[in-house]
Structure 1
Amino acid sequence: MEKLALSEQIEFRNVTKLYGQVIAVRSLSLTVGRGEFLTILGPSGSGKTTTLMLLAGFEAPTEGDIRIAGKSVASVPSYRRDQGVVFQSYALFPHLTVRRNLEFPLEMRGIRSAERAARAERILSRVHLDGLGDRMPSQLSGGQQQRVALARALIADPPILLLDEPLGALDRNLREQMQGEIKGLHKEFGITTVCVTHDQEEALTLSDRIVVMNAGRIEQTDTPEALYDRPVSRFVANFLGDANILDDPSFAVESDTPQPDGTVAMIRPERIRISAPGATKSADADQRQHVAGTVTDMIYAGPLRRYHVAVGDNDVVIREHVAAGRQIFQIGDTIQLDWLRSDIRFVTT
């Protein structure tokens, strides 16, 4: 029998899930290390939520096996898997106080009343909800309800935490605040965490590794930095941030590396500099490709200014930080673009 490495806590082995004739997950193989924060990222219908439901035990695989700590759990029901789960809808019991919501999973495990109360107070303090134990969920804000849901998932010290679009119902400021809270809790508790989201920023902020899924398959798995900087396909490049795909055949892309067959050139918007024609060239000008273009759009977005520039048949997007004294270009302006040849990446089509 194959022995699972000690560092691996979760393993999917060639898992397929069918709903009638629809293939939701195709031959998925994936391992998650002990203590790792892994995010499954993808658009609607990519199979990411089905993958999480399979791990949680709410769905059973049609083919393949799922192992936790080396033991198959494919046929183990959800209530017998020692996992904490947080849903986008929070799933708090509306008729129970915050304290009773927290104590409920401990009561189901037969833990005594005094110990339940002590644990509830400790976890309330940890998620900054001191003094709110007697409130009903309806008396809390969305951010506070999400903290209660996290606390309830963590209170029984499960070895695995599953997060299903945990911040999708919150506004932007609360999402950013809760991202920091989740990251801090993961660091403190060291729980193996699997998160599902379609929010690229959330995935980049929280994760040790990201799995990008498309049409039930894994497109690429890597660290956030590697995925963003070195996407392997056009899909990953476009899904994880903005990407300039330079596929106009009449435009010659210069690169430090040869272009593999079946690929197109790609560069990220923040890697491109925009300047007026005839502007002084930088000290590394010999390492850069310089091209002329015409501004087709300019969008002000607070700290960033976003330009669209026509270069041949390519629509090139540039993002630059707004700063005092920086020249602002208008629609119709002829401008100069340049970028390091080493910043060009090649992705499959």
Structure 2
Amino acid sequence: MAFRSLPPLVTSGAHGGEAYNSVQTPVQIEFRNVTKVYGQFVAVKDLSLAVSAGEFLTILGPSGSGKTTALMLLAGFAAPTTGEIFISGKSIGSVPSYRRDQGIVFQSYALFPHLTVRRNLEFPLEMRGIKSSEKAARVKRMLERVHLGDLGDRLPSQLSGGQQQRVALARALVADPPFLLLDEPLGALDRNLREQMQVELKNLHREFGKTTICVTHDQEEALTLSDRIVIMRAGQIEQMGTPEALYDKPRSRFVANFLGEANILENADFEVGAGSALPGAVAMLRPERIRVNALAAPYLEDTDRYATAKGFIEDMTYCGPLRKYQVRVGQTALITREHVNTEKQIFRSGEGVRLDWLRSDVRFVSA
């Protein structure tokens, strides 16, 4: 089968983000002007994206944003309407999915229900013609690595959700594919298990160094796992960059609101911070950047660095480690978020408060 080669590239900070590191790394996966159309619906529009070798990249977006379609195109379960996809510099447009050397983990896990855990892991090795002695050794090592060494003879139905997820990851990795595709990999788990598996995924990525593309709508998952995040909207890239860059410096109201909570200070009747030279831009302030103080509390030193506003508590929500306030300041409702501290004063609904924030913490985003 013929492949068309192209020279290796490097990642860049396009779309307002930052490269996830400053070291030039060969590109392993690349979308070039890829569009996918279903009838009259454009699922992906002119997508260009380069993924470096060893990178953990997450595609994040709401339902219908095109993130899953992009993954299915890469996996070979759908074909681009226009544009090309390259793996290690070779066009894969004519390569069927079963011949693309990749590991895939689906939200449903897609384990073979009639096969034991061990046989589930042996299957991809058999498909690749791995001899029996090596196959047994690989499966044994991988089961031990995911802490399932004593469960190899069980059926998937005899495992918990977290154990099934570990089997799915082990099956995807056992054949040592050059890259890994994750489709909402933790979506079927409860919160505690999701947090545990996030740690396990990070450890596996660190250990095996596989180029990984993860599709999710879970913001926390994306922030926790990723070297770089791509936020999609209506089939196109809205912004991409490191988790820190996207959270701290979103370019648009959509990104600010989608990646965490944001106070959009549009038409606020109080000073919020330094103005913006961008036409149509609106001020944005993250809830954790705001300090809630009693009206009589002393002002902070170096007051020129801070903006202040007085209002009253509309609502207080206790969230375990966090306490959230909704504060009414004139016509604007602000959300604040602070860590619970036994020494911190608790304010109740109707109580007057003063809000303080650093002027430098205000960001300006496109409307």
Q: Considering the TM-score relative to the shorter chain, is it more than 0.5?
A: yes
SS of residue matched to 1:60: coil
Deviation per residue, 1:81-119 (Å, 9 max, x gap): 000000000000000000000000000111111211111
Q: Which ranges of structure 1 fall in alignment gaps of 5 or more residues?
A: none
Amino acid at match of 2:212: T
Which residue in the other structure is 1:229 paired with?
A: 248
Equivalent position to 2:198, from 173, 179, 182: 179
Amino acid at match of 2:321: P
Equivalent position to 1:169, from 188, 197, 200: 188
Which residue in the other structure is 1:81 paired with?
A: 100
Deviation, structure 1 residue 78:
0.5
Residues 1:106 and 2:125 are matched in the alignment: yes
Deviation, structure 1 residue 75:
2.4
SS of residue matched to 1:252: coil
Which residue in the other structure is 1:135 paired with?
A: 154
Equivalent position to 1:32, from 42, 51, 56: 51
Amino acid at match of 2:328: A
Residues 1:325 and 2:343 are matched in the alignment: yes
Deviation, structure 1 residue 173:
0.5
Which residue in the other structure is 1:336 paired with?
A: 354
Worse-matched range after superposition: 286-295 or 185-194:
286-295
Runs of 4+ in 1 over 6 A off after TM superposition: none
The 2-side partners of 1:70 and 1:284 are apart by: 55
Amino acid at match of 1:57: G
SS of residue matched to 2:247: helix
Which residue in the other structure is 1:258 paired with?
A: 276
Q: For residues 1-349 of structure 1, what are the structure 2 equivalents within 5 Å?
A: 2-5=6-9, 7-255=26-274, 258-349=276-367
The 1-side partners of 2:282 and 2:357 are apart by: 17
Is contact 1:42–1:212 with CA below 8 Å preserved after alignment? yes
The 2-side partners of 1:313 and 1:231 are apart by: 25
Deviation per residue, 1:288-320 (Å, 9 max, x gap): 001111111111111111000111222100001
SS of residue matched to 1:106: helix
SS of residue matched to 1:23: strand
Is contact 1:200–1:241 with CA below 8 Å preserved after alignment? yes
SS of residue matched to 1:195: strand
Deviation, structure 1 residue 259:
4.0
Deviation, structure 1 residue 2:
4.9
Deviation, structure 1 residue 249:
5.0
The 2-side partners of 1:137 and 1:2 are apart by: 42
Alignment RMSD (CA, Å): 1.1
Deviation per residue, 1:167-189 (Å, 9 max, x gap): 00000010000000000000000
Worse-matched range after superposition: 6-15 or 204-213:
6-15
Amino acid at match of 1:321: H
Worse-matched range after superposition: 101-110 or 1-10:
1-10
Is contact 2:276–2:364 with CA below 8 Å preserved after alignment? no
Deviation per residue, 1:320-342 (Å, 9 max, x gap): 11111211111111110010000
Amino acid at match of 1:15: V
Amino acid at match of 1:217: Q
SS of residue matched to 1:315: strand
Is contact 1:60–1:75 with CA below 8 Å preserved after alignment? no
Deviation, structure 1 residue 135:
0.5
Deviation, structure 1 residue 134:
0.5
The 2-side partners of 1:75 and 1:336 are apart by: 63
**Change over 3 Å in CA distance of 1:346–1:39 after alignment to 2:** same
Deviation, structure 1 residue 3:
1.5
**Change over 3 Å in CA distance of 1:148–1:227 after alignment to 2:** same
Deviation, structure 1 residue 260:
1.6
Deviation per residue, 1:33-92 (Å, 9 max, x gap): 000000000011110000000010101000101001110012211101000000000000
The 1-side partners of 2:124 and 2:233 are apart by: 35
Q: Which ranges of structure 2 fall in alignment gaps of 5 or more residues?
A: 10-24
SS of residue matched to 2:115: coil
Deviation per residue, 1:232-251 (Å, 9 max, x gap): 00000000000000002533
Deviation, structure 1 residue 127:
0.4
SS of residue matched to 1:176: helix
The 2-side partners of 1:334 and 1:202 are apart by: 36
Deviation, structure 1 residue 262:
1.4
